[in-house]
Amino acid sequence: MTTQRFRPPWWRSRRGQDALTTAAVRLVLSAGAVIILLPFFWMISTSLKQPAEVYLSPPIWIPSPPQFENYVTALTRVRFHIYALNTAIIVSTVMLGTMLSCSFAAYGFARLRAPGRDLIFMLVLATLMLPGAVTLVPTYLMFNAIGWINTFLPLIVPAYFGSAFFIFMLRQFYLTIPVELEEAARIDGAGVYRIWWSIIVPLSRPVLATVAVFTFVGTYNDFFNPLIYLSRDEQRTIAVALSYFSGSPRIGPQMHLMMAAVAASIVPPMVLFLGAQRYFVRGIVLSGIKG
């Protein structure tokens, strides 16, 4: 039998179809990426313009020469260094507190048998569903009653009492650590607190890094809490200070300065994201799959 073997044209072949689909996917994703990146481009472009170039139609896309001194002007006309310092203090202490308290509590939930443990854990998890608005007013009144308004304490102290999602994440990780490790340490005479600090914490460094990056981003971008708890200018965080720029005669009406300030403000989370991407991805993977 000599049947001529039918050869489809390359675009109908398996490899051809694959290549075509990949090309189509790439095209769609590129179009989407342009939409995602365009606002950033427009922000940078505006931030490098001269005042007279901002309000033009049709617009100038790439200002020439670029006005880099806009950044200097924007960051020195207001006391940006103070806002940055406030933000740094709050973010770093919140990160420390969250990592310590969540890791500590998660170890208890993962390993130590105590009556009612799982019930308490379920309660902690249930708070994830709770809209923050419900606790807002009494929490504010409580901090008001003990004189903590206009201090950083309402922003920092709660971080030392654990946070449901991170406790959950760390607990899931601790459950995967072989018990033998801890048993060996116990035989060597180490107590539970020693075991937690010198075995569990070092082992969970990658997960703690995930907790750290998410806490950084969440705290750095937090607007609501600093807004309601801090009212003096010298206490403002970068997020809150930015929101006042639009009404400030030194910056607000000048869109090029405004955009320079905004661009400067997103540098820290942006750098963190570029440098620690895998930790972000890990956190998302954990949150998605276990949900």
Partner 1 sequence: MIESNRAAPPATSPRRRSVRQREALHGYVFMAPAILGLLLFTLGPVIASLALSFTDYGLLTDPEWVGLENYRDMIGEELFWQALRVSTTYSLVSVPLGLVAGLGLAVLLNRRMRGVTLFRSIYYLPTVISGVGVAMLWRWLFNAEFGIINVLLGFIGIEGPAWLTNERWALPALIITSLWGVGSTTLIFLAGLQGIPGELYEAAEMDGAGQLRQFRHITLPLISHVTFFNLVLGIIGALQVFTDAFVITRGGPNHATLFLALYLYNHAFKYLNMGYAAAIAWVMFIIVMLLTLLVFRSSALWVFYEQERQGKNA
Contacts of partner 1 in 159-178 (CB under 8 A): 160-163, 167
Angle formed by the axes of helices 255-265 and 14-47, to 10°?
A: 120
Query: Closer to partner 1 at the Cβ: 85 or 266?
Result: 266
Which position among 8, 10, 11, 38 is part of the footprint of partner 1 (CB under 8 A)?
Answer: 38
Instruction: Give the one residue of 50, 76, 127, 150 binding partner 1; rule: CB under 8 A.
Output: 127
Residue 1: its H or E element: none
- 275 in contact with partner 1 (CB under 8 A): no
Of residues 68 and 224, the one with the C-beta less far from partner 1: 224
**Which tokens go with 16?**
């051809």
Give the binding-site size for partner 1 (rule: CB under 8 A).
96
Residue 151: name the closest of 235, 83, 223, 239 by CA.
Answer: 235
Among 10, 223, 233, 234, binds partner 1 (CB under 8 A): 223
Interaction residues for partner 1, span 72-91 (CB under 8 A): none
Q: Which is nearer to partner 1, 1 or 77 (CB)?
A: 77
Identify the CA nearest to 146 among candidates 229, 235, 231: 229
Q: Which residues contact 194 (CB under 8 A, 6 or more apart)?
A: 185
Question: Closest approach of Cβ 174 to partner 1, in Å?
Answer: 11
The 3-class secondary structure across 147-215, one letter per residue, is CCCCCCHHHHHHHHHCCHHHHHHHHHHHHCCCHHHHHHHHHCCCCHHHHHHHHHHHHCHHHHHHHHHHH
Least distance from partner 1 to the Cβ atom of residue 1, Å: 26
CB 16 within 8 A of CB 10: yes
Taking CB under 8 A as the criterion, the residue among 4, 187, 202, 249 binding partner 1 is: 187
Residues 233-272 within binding reach of partner 1 (CB under 8 A) = 239-240, 242-243, 245-246, 255, 258-259, 262, 265-266, 269-270, 272
Only one residue has tokens 């639009």, namely: 246
Q: Report the C-alpha gap between 222 and 239 in whole angstroms.
A: 7
Residue 142 backbone phi and psi in degrees, to 5: -65, -50
Q: Considering the complex, state which of residue 1 and residue 289 has its C-beta at the smaller distance from partner 1.
A: 289
Whole-number minimum distance, CB 57 to partner 1, in Å?
A: 6
In the complex, what is the shortest distance from the CB of residue 150 to partner 1, in angstroms, rounded to a whole number? 14
Question: Does 181 engage in binding with partner 1 (CB under 8 A)?
Answer: no
Interface with partner 1, residue 224, by CB under 8 A: yes
Token pair 């994201």 in the structure block, residue:
273
Asked if 228 is part of the footprint of partner 1 (rule: CB under 8 A), the reply reads yes
Q: Which 132-161 positions form the footprint of partner 1 (CB under 8 A)?
A: 132-142, 144, 158, 160-161
| Cis upstream peptide for 58 (omega within 30°) | yes
Among 8, 10, 13, 25, binds partner 1 (CB under 8 A): 25
